Amino acid sequence: MNIAFIAHDKKKEDIVQFVSAYNHLFEKHELYSTGTTGKRIMEATNLSIHRFQSGPLGGDQQIGALIATNKMDLVLFFKDPLTAQPHEPDISALIRLCDVYSIPLATNMATAEVLVRGLNRGDFQWREIVRGERRMIDNE
């Protein structure tokens, strides 16, 4: 699975702790992140993460491009709902793309916990079918 990590400044420590707790699970997947969030996660874990620009410099849009081309399977975006973000239109566009393309999205740690437990159970294998990685066998 292709998994993206994004976090606003006041939520970066939370996502680092969360990813660290599930390091053993995430190491089995292809990981992507906006710049600073990815750097902080990599410094705290042994995970290899493809880092894009920071969010305000276009990283949200780079991840959005993967969503729009059906190359992203899960997005964990720890948002700070109490601080105004100067790139709010980019954030809204990313969330909209997740809705348009039915990409599971967590915007807080509680929802991320539920999604990661589902990931561990194999509940997201339908994404492989959507991406065409598995061939569906009809009438067998």
pLDDT, average across residues 125-140: 64
* Residue 88, pLDDT score: 87
* Residue 90, pLDDT score: 87
pLDDT of 77 higher than 50: yes
Query: Which percentage of the chain shows pLDDT scores above 90?
Result: 79
Q: Is 123 a catalytic residue?
A: no
Query: In whole numbers, what is the pLDDT of the chain averaged over residues?
Result: 92
pLDDT, average across residues 50-78: 95
Domain annotation for the chain: domains and CATH numbers = 2-130 (3.40.50.1380)
Which of these is catalytic: 14, 60, 80, 99? 60
Q: Which of 65, 63, 35, 29 shows the shortest CA–CA distance to 48?
A: 29
Q: Which of 68, 73, 72 shows the shortest CA–CA distance to 115?
A: 73
pLDDT of 133 higher than 80: no
Q: Could you read off the pLDDT of 122-132 as tens digits, one per residue?
A: 999 888 888 77
Side by side, the strands of the sheet bearing 105-106 are 50-51, 30-33, 2-7, 74-78, 105-106
